[in-house]
Amino acid sequence: MAEIVSNSLKYLTIGVHDESWGMVVTTVGMQHIEPNANYPAMSHPTTYNFKSQNGRILAEYQLVYIVEGGGFFESQSLPRQRVEAGTVILIFPHEWHSYAPDKELGWGEYWIGFKGEMAQRMEAAGYFSPKEPLVKIGLSNTLMALYRDAIRLADKENIACQQLVSGIVIHMLGHILYKERNRGAEVGRAEEIINEARQIMRERANHNLQVEDVARELGVGYSWFRQNFKRLMGVSPAQHITRLLMSRAKELLVSESIPIANIAYILGFENVGQFSTAFRRVEGVSPRQFRNENSKKMFII
């Protein structure tokens, strides 16, 4: 499943307006390193090439996916660690690092380099951290296919290639995060309970749904539930319910066939005033203003 049958190395052109997109891709490739072979096997520009004993510092992010063999990784933030197949190595800008396959094993790797505001926002939000640069997700056909898609696009480098390939990087990052947080049998008790809670909230979201009732139904204490929900989701359970509620409200408001008073009732509010106050607090406009503005947009071609 993981075998790399050919080596490929691409460096992409970055146009004048590409960086305004929010992310650009610098390089993408794959290579198979035989046991006892030199590493790196292919020549790179001076800013990318390195010797494992010295390491290097890049001015960009990279995702290096080890799909065969094994080796080591170390960085400014992490002491030397063993790396097995199925591990994604996250390299961060201006962070010293070094990695290489074991001489007796070799390895197969995919990589892609990128930079821009999108990636910086993800790091700032804590989705990925230099302190945890090794993400064990196992062997993923989906992720390998995304790398190969990026390589094919980079090979042709047609107009708007940067925008399309950077979209692939976003897909990769989301896939890595999802796989890491939902590792099948390894998913912890907290993750299982929070996933179940989110399902309950989606199905029953209304103004009367109480977080305490959800926690009680799942057989956990309110404090434990709230703490773990916020840790995994980034928002409190009450905020998550409000988001679901307002999302449902906007869906209903776009349909002019449903009176606003009926929408308030459907969502569990006692009256239109209570619904309007809650909606304005979150969305910044009244339900009627939202309906008027968005119904107009529906007819603009």
Are the beta carbons of 193 and 218 closer than 8 angstroms? yes
Number of helices and strands in the chain (H, E): 10, 8
**Residue 163, pLDDT score:** 96
Burial track 242-257 (b if 16+ CB lie within 10 A, e otherwise): bebbbebbbebbeeee
| Residues comprising the chain, all counted | 301
In whole angstroms, how far apart are CA 120 and each of 17, 92, 113, 126?
Answer: 19, 10, 13, 10
Residue with tokens 């776009």, as numbered in its chain:
254
Q: What is the dihedral of CA 218, 220, 224, 229, to 10 degrees?
A: -10
**Residue 46, pLDDT score:** 64
3-state secondary structure of 98: strand
**Residue 63, pLDDT score:** 98
Number of Cβ within 10 Å of residue 58's Cβ equals 20
**Residue 186, pLDDT score:** 44
Are the beta carbons of 81 and 134 closer than 8 angstroms? yes
> How far is residue 175's CA from residue 277's CA, in Å, rounded to a whole number?
38
**Residue 301, pLDDT score:** 31
pLDDT, averaged per 10 consecutive residues of the chain (301 residues), comes to 70 92 96 89 67 88 96 96 95 96 94 96 95 92 93 93 96 93 64 89 89 91 90 89 92 86 92 93 92 65 31
> How far is residue 5's CA from residue 10's CA, in Å, rounded to a whole number?
17
DSSP H stretches of helix in the chain: 117-124, 141-156, 161-181, 189-204, 211-217, 222-233, 237-254, 260-266, 272-283, 287-298
Strands 134-136 and 61-75: unpaired
**Residue 43, pLDDT score:** 66
**Residue 293, pLDDT score:** 86
In whole angstroms, how far apart are CA 52 and each of 45, 135, 228, 270?
Answer: 16, 20, 40, 66
> At residue 235, what is the residue type?
V
Q: Is 277 exposed, middle or buried, given 0-12, 13-18 or 19+ CB atoms closer than 10 A?
A: exposed
**Residue 209, pLDDT score:** 92
Q: Enter the pTM of the model.
A: 0.63
**Residue 16, pLDDT score:** 85
Q: How far is CA 205 from the centre of its chain?
A: 26
> How far is residue 250's CA from residue 239's CA, in Å, rounded to a whole number?
16
